[in-house]
Amino acid sequence: MEDKLKTRLGEKNYQKLIEIDNPELHQFVAKYVELCNPDKVFVCTDSPEDIQYVRQEAIRAGEEMKLAIAGHTVHFDGYYDQARDKKNTKFLLPPGADLGANLNAMDKEEGLKEIHDILKDIMRGHQLFVRFFCLGPLKSQFSIPAVQLTDSGYVAHSEDLLYRQGYEEFVRLGRDAQFFKFVHSAGELDERKTSVNIDKRRVYIDLEDETVYSVNTQYGGNTIGLKKLAMRTAINRASKEGWLNEHMFIMAVHGPSGRKTYFTGAFPSLCGKTSTSMLPGESIIGDDIAYIRNKEGVPRAVNPERGVFGIIQGVNPEDDPLIWKTLHSPGEIIFSNVLVTEEESVFWIGKAGEEPKWGIHHSGEWTPGKKDAEGNEISLSHPNARFTLDLKLLENCDSELDNPEGVVIGGIIYGGRDSDTKVPVEESFDWTHGVITMGAALESETTAATLGKEGVRKINPMSNLDFLSIPIGKYIANHLNFGRGLKNPPPIFSVNYFLKDANGKFMNDKTDKAVWLKWMELRSHHEVEVIKTPTGLIPKYEDLKRLFKQVLDKDYAEKDYNEQFTVRITENLAKIERVKTFYKTKVPDTPQIVFEVLEEQKQRLILAMEKYGDYISPKTFLQEKNQK
């Protein structure tokens, strides 16, 4: 093997590889160099020269183009390669293994044979990049080393911005490295340097060997293996080791006297996750994924990433001032599937300013009204267009981003799109109640503009359903068990920014979420009182009135408070039935306590309805409390 490796890599790259004392790694690289048969192999260390080489190769090969602002480049995926391929993303399972009906899986041997047949000689004419990264801060209990083999300079460059360099970590760990493995090839490319054989696009995840295979695709969600693909292998590992891998942001909410309280938050798409984590005045550690561990009875979290692969549609200076400023400043940023204008600047759907009449994007040259082969009008940028950047380019990047100990979690937030049921902000009674009624019961309505039929409610446990690699019931049980091991579990909250009145008008302004966050920060330190309702603990009017003035310099009417925080009995009872039906029919391994806690909530709601009617104002519950 050594002679063959040295021949294929050349002396310089061979020496870089064997500097890492890990025979398993050497065998892995040798196997796929031989199978994929690239013309050239480049082993990338953490040196600035090596990293710069990869970035230059992405441009030289035509996968990226320079833009007018220094450091900015643009990449185009193929027209039909613009999103995660859920149909062809499968777990490879050995005989007897079962992840449940909700997860897409196939026989491991069958899948490996298929993927290896596709990979045979697939990199002929290409250069293979051997990349080393670290999921989580370096030299940390949270860290997971990862090696990526890819023939795409764009993928290799993107990972430079999204992950911590890991070559030195591999050298340090040597044979002790328990690393994730990723094999990617964009496959045959057309004249625009985009993947041709989309019919053979495959994304296969081998949980046993912690290896991800991705072929005939360039879109980042399918190819940047350390992101949502690694999330699946990490959820599986976390389940075995007793920690949590969550689809959550990590942010610091700044409280009184310079205090910072860290929150994690899970929101399905289009429910306010990014806008919450990027609120002006607060600071961010991560916008997407959190590793959470119990360290001596205290929950601590890290961001396994160090960058953002963010949806750019709708980013504008009013709603996203921090991101907007960064996207218009010099710095290393990759735009993908946006429109490039004659001035070599970029435009996207929802960007402020007059729309261009000409540009280049993922469909080639574009003018308004252009249609694709199926007769569909092509928008000026793809709805899933993205930007990729290092978090440290953002003014609000938190100082604890790379803390190997992680940050102490002061609260957990679950948010969904709900027009008629949940109040704007609410705290659970305890950890178990929060995990079940706010996390496991997390539900969101679809929007007509983006997801098809409007108002369809979908249950998405912890906003992690698409990425689970273990049965849903086990996943919920892991959460419940995790809380039992904590000395003082952090409070769990739900938020709902989308409550509407009888006329279909939103009851909350976009900016109100800043107040809900400040209230949650105070609650995590028990500095404000609450009103107990059948579904949880809600704020008192006086506290919110003060916070609205302090935070937004805005008057908050008691009439608005009473409307927003009315407990809607009928709607809450209907939600409980939807959640129970989901778990009874789709999750055979649901822990019994889920049904018990939901039934307790149902009985509290029925009792309140018998006493006070279908719609109960917070004032009623406050009076009830005062009478006791």
Provide the annotated active-site residues.
Answer: 271
Residues 6 or more apart whose Cβ sits within 8 Å of residue 200 = 118, 187, 215, 216
> What value, to the nearest 5°, has the Cα angle with vertex 465 and ends 464 and 470?
95
Tell me the backbone φ, ψ of residue 294, rounded to 5 degrees: -90, 110
Distance of CA 325 to the CA centre of its chain: 22
Say how far apart CA 539 and CA 520 lie, in whole Å.
9
Q: Tell me which residue of 173, 162, 151 sits closest to 230, measured CA to CA.
A: 162
Per the rule left: phi > 0, alpha: psi between -120 and 50, beta: everything else, 610 is alpha
Say how far apart CA 441 and CA 602 lie, in whole Å.
13
Q: 10 Å Cβ neighbour count for 10?
A: 14
The residues that bridge with 452 in the sheet, in sequence order, are: none
575 in Cβ contact with 502 (< 8 Å): no
The H or E element containing residue 154 is helix 153-162
Residues 6 or more apart whose Cβ sits within 8 Å of residue 27 = 1
Task: Take residue 506 and report the two structure tokens written for it.
Answer: 């939103």
Classify residue 611 by burial, with Cβ atoms within 10 Å: 0-12, 13-18, 19+: exposed
Say how far apart CA 188 and CA 203 lie, in whole Å.
16
498 in Cβ contact with 418 (< 8 Å): yes
Task: Take residue 203 and report the two structure tokens written for it.
Answer: 């994304």
Say how far apart CA 157 and CA 301 lie, in whole Å.
26
Pairing, β 530-532 against β 443-445: unpaired
Roughly how many angstroms between the first and final C-alpha of the chain, as a whole number?
Answer: 79
469 in Cβ contact with 91 (< 8 Å): yes
Residues 6 or more apart whose Cβ sits within 8 Å of residue 586 = 101, 102, 472
Say how far apart CA 329 and CA 317 lie, in whole Å.
13
Classify residue 298 by burial, with Cβ atoms within 10 Å: 0-12, 13-18, 19+: middle
**C-alpha distances in angstroms, 279 versus 312, 401, 512?**
16, 17, 11
3-class DSSP state for residue 316?
A: coil
The structure tokens 């590793």 sit at: 291
